[in-house]
Structure 1
Amino acid sequence: MSKQPVWTDTSNTIHSLVATASAKLSATSETAVLDAEVLLCHCLNKTRSFLRAWPEHQPGPQQIAQFQLLVNQRAQGTPVAYLTGQREFWSRNFKVNPDVLIPRPDTELLIELSLSLLPADQPCKIIDLGTGSGIIAVTLAAERPLAQVFASDLSSAALDVARYNAQQLKAGNLCFVHSNWFKNIEETDFDLVVSNPPYIADNDPHLTIGDVRFEPDSALISPNNGLQDIHQLAEQARLHLKDNGQLLVEHGYNQQSEVQAIFHEFGYQQVNTHADLSGNPRVTSGIWKPL
């Protein structure tokens, strides 16, 4: 068992606490200062601007003890989002815990593309498969209040998190379904099927580093080199999309050709892959037009 970092600082000001924590986290985190500031903000229930405005402020003993505990856990690798219980996505704070993936900026591309396809002044029907914490479904429901949005997940624990987020963010135009992809979905005629499914191969070395070590394997790993769930989604979505409905799927940066081939295999048209902010192929789209 690794030793807990020893705290030697005694001044206990915001400035000194952040400095000491950052030094401890620098060996295990590439964002040590940011991690320390976010954790201290969480303990103080303050913003980062408060830390900068009041560097000589001395938190109370209980706040300091909580901060030290969280920093020690972060030093052992626990993701900051799981320590604070929240992560921002599309300018909204979402509850997260180890039952769900941590929201990532790459997934905001799914939102951008979805909103570009769905006029704000028209009703539509959307389903988010493998919703996890609900970041996609809740965001689309909030941004398109005329839409009827469905969200499904195989994990009951994940659905509980998604329901909580929908309630907290006042997204009332949502229906949650416990389902393995489309298995329990009776609805059809969707304008949009969207998903961030598992797409990592079980032997991918990235699974042994960083935050993914703590995230649920069921939301990360897919058989057949990470492509089995995408294959199943593309096959089943045809039965639930309306004519000219769209399928949007997030995938790995190195899976563009394979995912496009899957879409073509099942007859989708106008298949395109879209790059994320880093320029990596991240989302593939296709239109369903039955012959």
Structure 2
Amino acid sequence: MRVVLIGRPPPDPLTQAEGGAVRRALAEAARTLGPISDTPRLDAELLMAHALDCTRDTMILSRLDAPVPAGFAVLLARRQAHEPLAYIIGTRDFWTITLAVGPGVLIPRADSETLIEAAIDHFGAVGPASILDLGTGPGTLLLAALDQWPQARGLGIERSQTARDYAVGNAARIAPGRAEIRDGDWGQGVAGRFDLVLCNPPYVENGAALAPQVARHEPAEALFAGAQGLNEYRRLAPQLSRLIAPGGIAIIEIGAAQEQAVSTLMAEAGFAVACRHDLGGRPRALILS
């Protein structure tokens, strides 16, 4: 006689004792994610560590033969649907810090670390005393700089309430008492001058083809900036000079094809302009003095 249990879903094959160990599930998940991710194995490992509620290192060192947690299949399905990994696990590493992130927040990119590298080359170990980050998002550039220079204090300006909420939480954890997060539109209403001004504005041209995980999930207002991607640079250029302290600099991120156009805008605003390339050899940051 066959007994049918009503109301109980069939077991997930990944969680079965036979073939259900973490190491085997990771191999299968990496194959599944191959078509939609440039880093399928890393994605699988980070999702599994999140499901196990441990670090990736702990998982690799001691949990590879553990049973697969029931929640892993749900996390994997979300990633297969092109949801950004950072939104699923709720964090993103950047420079020396780990930022809490989520829907409605621009996810920090490794290319943006070029701005921190340029600042270190300019200021050295002594560092700036004061830092301004225009469009701070979840606190990305501001908090990375403050972690680099523990004696510095900073201000982050962000017009998105969602991003500001994340920035406030990240600041309380990473740089308690040293970072103020404030509502604002670039430098409008910001008083005083700062040794280091950082900015990663929207610079994608309208209509550009983006990866599904970006186009479907990340906030359009943090990405797009007009037909040529230059609208926000035009707004920033006349504001920056009054925000930079004597001897200070501003460092702004640019798209890979925007060096000449943005350099011209900034030179017309009275700045000496130098360019820094990212690890891929692409123009990534303009240094204004």
Cα distance, 1:92 vs structure 2 = 1.7
- 1:3 matched residue in structure 2: none
Q: Which residue of 2 aligns with 1:215?
A: 218
Partner residue, 1:36: 44
Where does structure 2 lack aligned partners over 5 or more consecutive residues?
1-10
Distance 1:123 1:276 in 2: 22
Instruction: Work out whether residues 128 and 196 of structure 2, in 8 Å CA contact, stay in contact via their aligned partners in 1.
Output: no
Alignment of 1:203-282 (within 5 A): 203-206=207-210, 208-269=211-272, 271-282=273-284
| 3-state SS in 2 of match to 1:103 | coil
Q: What's the Cα RMSD here?
A: 1.9
Return the TM-score normalized by structure 2: 0.89
Identity in percent? 32
- Give how far 1:102 is off: 1.1
Shift of 1:235: 1.2
Residues 49, 177 of structure 1: CA spacing in aligned structure 2 closer, same or farther, 3 A cutoff?
closer
* Paired position in structure 2 for 1:105: 110
Q: Which secondary structure does the structure 1 equivalent of 2:86 belong to?
A: helix
**Alignment: residue pair count:** 275
Q: For residues 114-133 of structure 1, what are the structure 2 equivalents within 5 Å?
A: 114-121=119-126, 124-133=129-138
Q: Distance in 2 between matches of 1:189 and 1:130?
A: 17
* Cα displacement string for residues 213-266 of structure 1 (whole angstroms, at most 9, x for unaligned residues): 311111111124111111211211112223343121101011010011011110
Query: Match for 2:77: what amino acid?
Result: N
Q: CA deviation at 1:121?
A: 3.8
Equivalences for residues 67-216 of structure 1 within 5 A = 67-121=72-126, 124-185=129-190, 187-206=191-210, 208-216=211-219
TM-score normalized by structure 1? 0.88
Deviation for aligned residue 1:279:
0.5
Does the 8 A contact of 2:146 with 2:175 survive in 1? no
Amino acid paired to 1:16: R
Q: Secondary structure at the match of 2:71?
A: helix
How far apart, in 1, do the equivalents of 2:100 and 2:197 lie? Answer: 24
Distance 1:259 1:164 in 2: 33
Report the CA distance between 1:119 and its aligned residue. 4.8
TM-aligned CA distance change 1:130 to 1:122, over 3 Å = closer
Q: Distance in 2 between matches of 1:105 and 1:222?
A: 21
Q: Is the 8 A contact 1:79 1:211 kept in 2?
A: yes
The offset of 1:56, in angstroms, is: 2.0
CA distance in 1: counterparts of 2:234 and 2:122, whole angstroms = 23
**Cα deviation code 1:193-223 (max 9, x no counterpart):** 11011000111112x5343431111111112
Q: CA deviation at 1:29?
A: 2.2
Q: Which runs of 5+ in 1 are unaligned?
A: 1-5
Label 1:48 to 1:126 Cα distance change in 2 as closer, same or farther (>3 A): closer
Whether contact under 8 Å (1:249, 1:284) holds in the other structure is yes
2:107 aligned partner, one-letter code: I
Partners of 1:138 and 1:210 lie apart in 2 by 25
Matches of 2:250 and 2:122, distance apart in 1: 11
Tell me which residue corresponds to 2:5.
none
